[in-house]
Chain A
Amino acid sequence: ETGVTQSPTHLIKTRGQQVTLRCSSQSGHNTVSWYQQALGQGPQFIFQYYREEENGRGNFPPRFSGLQFPNYSSELNVNALELDDSALYLCASSQERGYTFGSGTRLTVV
């Protein structure tokens, strides 16, 4: 097992720009979900992918989009960045009942 790897670890973007965050799932895990964690708060569910299809979405606008690839790695794309998008973005991969979180990408929007 290689764990869940996220890249980059830190990122600074300007308001209005677009960003892509990446997640490499744990070996054998076919489900990946993304969470946004603002400072001092618990993670908030963005969406989940199972075998390359989105199968669940939280209360986030369409400018938050994602992809899952055949090797189960995943991307989170955010368009038209806003200051409030500054947060730690977490990826979690799972198979059945086992869930593993990555260390996250810290995004700062200025």
Chain B
Amino acid sequence: EDQVTQSPEALRLQEGESSSLNCSYTVSGLRGLFWYRQDPGKGPEFLFTLYSAGEEKEKERLKATLTKKESFLHITAPKPEDSATYLCAGHSYGQNFVFGPGTRLSVLP
């Protein structure tokens, strides 16, 4: 069965304190590993897609990496506006997303 897990469930950081979020996946026929940001009461906002092990993508303070079983979202020198829930999703052969439960990130000033 396809499954995506994320850790930690919640993370509190001080402004400027770098850290990483983990996503472990078992998705048959993986067509891409996606990262989304979700603010309360809003839909997921696309961040990155990774397609093959070893691939890395960056956007401002965020960098996503991919191995054969895991993906990491590295946050460098975060700011309070980075506070959100970060969702990882495997895009399966069946053409739907299998989402993890998310990591709730709080960045304190």
The residue that B99 contacts in the complex, of A4, A44, A48, with Cβ under 8 A, is A44
Residue of A nearest to B46 (CB): A99
Kindly state the interface size class of chain B when it binds its partner: 20 to 34
Q: Is A104 in contact with B96, judged by CB distance below 8 angstroms?
A: no
* Segment of B36-44, B52-60, B71-79 in the binding face: B36-44
Instruction: Give the interface residue-count category, chain A.
Output: 20 to 34
Q: Give complex CA distance A90, B99 in Å.
A: 13
CA distance A45 to B99 in the complex (A): 9
Interface string of B68-107 (1 = CB under 8 A from A): 0000000000000000000101000011111111100000
- For the residues of A in contact with B, the DSSP-based class is strand
Q: Is A58 an interface residue (CB 8 A)?
A: yes
A103 within 8 Å of B (CB atoms)? yes
Complex: how many Å from CA A55 to CA B89?
A: 20
Evaluate whether A56 and B96 lie within 8 angstroms (CB atoms) in the complex, with A42-B101, A42-B102 already known: yes
Q: Could you jot down 27 A-B contacts, CB within 8 Å? A: A31-B95, A33-B97, A40-B101, A41-B101, A42-B101, A43-B44, A44-B99, A45-B97, A45-B98, A55-B95, A56-B94, A56-B95, A58-B96, A90-B44, A97-B32, A97-B49, A99-B34, A99-B46, A100-B46, A101-B46, A102-B43, A103-B41, A103-B42, A103-B43, A104-B41, A104-B43, A106-B41
